[in-house]
Structures are given as C-alpha cells and as structure tokens.
Amino acid sequence: IFREGLSKRGVQVITGLGKYFRQIDKKRNGLLSQAALKEALKLFHLEMPEGDFESLWLILDESKSDKVDYGEFTHAIFGEMNEYRKASVRKAYMKLDFNKTGSVPVVNVRKCYCAK
C-alpha cells in the first residue's frame, strides 16, 4: 500500500495510525474491526472508494474473522523486513532474552528500553 518510498508525511501517518489503534483497542487484543479501520483511514485522510476498501479488507482479513490483527495490517503496509532489519531485531531479541528461554517478559523489555 505505502511501500513505494515513504515520505515524511507517510511515516507520520503510519505512526499516528499505530497510536490511534492502540488507543481504541480497549480489549488490548490487537484486533481491528472493519468499522474501526474505516474510521481510522477517514481520520487520517486516507479515504478510498468503497470497492477499494472492500478489496483491502479481503486482503487483510485472510482468516475471515471479521477482525484484522494490527500486526497483519502493518505487514501489509510495510511488507517483509529486509535482512539488515531482521538481523537487528534478532540481535535486540537475544539481548532481551537474558535467560535464553525463547520468550521475553515485559519486565525485561522495560529494563532495556524506554519508549519515551
């Protein structure tokens, strides 16, 4: 969708969408309804013809659950990470997984990372 070289505004829109989705996700399950996605696109001035939106929804809702995972939405926008980014993520994960358990508790993330 936005893969063709993100402009500064494009990055701001994607970042803003992420913040908006986290604010409206009261259940904290990472899922978006069709209405929530449509409203978010409208809010960020990304409206599209109804037919295009329906096509987008069909692509995003592969599981036919009438909900879209925010991670799936992000993947659809950004695509696969390149090898450099994947290596960086692996390196960061290895640092966070102190005990080499294969999972990282939030407390370990808080020890190493401050989003502020």
Exposure string of 56-93, with b = 16+ CB inside 10 Å and e = fewer, is: beeebbeeeeebbbbebbeebbeeeeeeeeeeeeeeee
- The tokens for 39 are 């409203």
Task: Report the alpha-carbon distance of residue 106 to residue 91 in Å, rounded.
Answer: 17
3 CB contacts (<8 Å, ≥6 apart)?
Answer: 77, 78, 79
Q: Output the pLDDT for position 74.
A: 74
How many helices (H) and strands (E) would you count in the chain? 6, 2
SS3 102: coil
CA angle 82, 87, 62 (to 5 degrees): 50
Q: Please name each of the domains of the chain with its CATH number.
A: 1-78 (1.10.238.10), 83-112 (no CATH)
- One digit per residue, the tens of pLDDT, for the chain of length 116 reads 444 445 677 778 877 888 888 888 888 888 889 999 899 889 888 888 999 999 989 888 888 888 888 877 777 776 777 888 889 888 988 888 878 888 888 887 887 777 66
Q: Output the pLDDT for position 30.
A: 86
* Residue 3 half-sphere exposure toward CB, CA atoms < 13 A: 11
Q: Output the pLDDT for position 2.
A: 45
Question: What is the chain's Cα-based Rg?
Answer: 16
